Structure 1
Amino acid sequence: MWRGAAAVCLDEEDRLLMVLQGTPEEEKKWAVPSGGKEAGETFETCCLRELKEETGYEGKVVRPLFVKSDGAVEVRYFEVVMTGGRMEVRDPDGLIHEIAWKAAAEISNLALSFPEDLPFLLSLFEESASSQTR
């Protein structure tokens, strides 16, 4: 089974950190920073390594959010807050083409690498908005 982790980062303006990814031969699509777990790595460590490689940002895992599994693939999504770094593509695989902060209204119109994640991603904005009105 392939295992990986994804970093879900919302900024103070309620925008989601996303990367435009794909091989040169395929259509580029948007996703949250994510990638495969290496031997001996925890899911949390994988999440933060992928965040750094794909975006240049450093972060801290706040909490687990969601596990997506279909029997062949397991991806664990974590809420992450930024602790440092700066926006720059450092992807050793050369699959990341752009980094951007996207508002909720923009995400519905993006070509997503994992379209099945859309309801989950949109729910994050709703959760963030409801926590700010308390």
Structure 2
Amino acid sequence: MKQWFGSAAICINERNEVLMVRGNDSDRWAVPSGGIEIGETSEDCCIREVREETGYDVRILEKLNVKEIVLKGFEVQTHYFKVEKTGDSAGINDPDGTIVEAAWKSLSNLHDLDHMYPEDMQTILGCSDLIIG
């Protein structure tokens, strides 16, 4: 089976909003993520993907987990990092041309969003100090 390795970023701001992106063929939202390139660490990939997909520079705060699933015939391994933005967005500059929108989504409304990867909800909420009852 083919393998794919990637990184994903969970970035939560001071207003308890998480940075999410939407692709051009979908109404579903996901955290910024992408494939690890040759010679790149999972950390480097995470930082690059956030910059390309959202325009934000980020720094990694901690490694969260590694999600391993089989998707469309691929063994997928995605490294999740908690990150923090270090400035304002320079705008989306996605070389793949797949990301059309980046937005801050309120954690309290996270359940109402249409998610590309619903299993990421626990990871996202686990990064927040917000208590959602």
TM-score (norm 1): 0.86
Name 1:35's counterpart in structure 2. Answer: 34
Q: How does 1:53-92 map to 2 (within 5 A)?
A: 53-70=52-69, 72-92=75-95
* Paired residues of 1:69 and 1:75 also in contact (CA < 8 A): yes
- Quote the offset at 1:129 in angstroms: 3.2
Moved more, 13-22 or 47-56: 13-22
Moved more, 39-48 or 82-91: 82-91
Out of 1, 4, 10, the position equivalent to 1:2 is 4
Out of 101, 113, 116, the position equivalent to 1:98 is 101
Between the aligned residues of both structures, percent identity stands at 42
CA RMSD of aligned residues (A): 1.6
- Quote the offset at 1:44 in angstroms: 0.1
Structure with greater proportional helix content: 1
Measured against aligned partners, the alpha-carbon deviations of 1:28-63 in whole angstroms (never above 9, x if no partner) come to 310011000000100000000000000000011111
What stretches of structure 1 move > 2 A for 4+ residues in a row?
A: 122-125
Evaluate the alpha carbon distance shift between residue 62 and residue 89 of structure 1 in structure 2; reply closer, same or farther with a 3 A threshold. Answer: same
**Mapped partners of 1:87, 1:30: distance in 2:** 20
The one-letter code of the counterpart of 1:18 is M
Name 2:115's counterpart in structure 1. Answer: 112
Name 2:48's counterpart in structure 1. Answer: 49
**Mapped partners of 1:18, 1:101: distance in 2:** 6
- Quote the offset at 1:124 in angstroms: 2.5
TM-score (norm 2): 0.86
The one-letter code of the counterpart of 2:87 is G
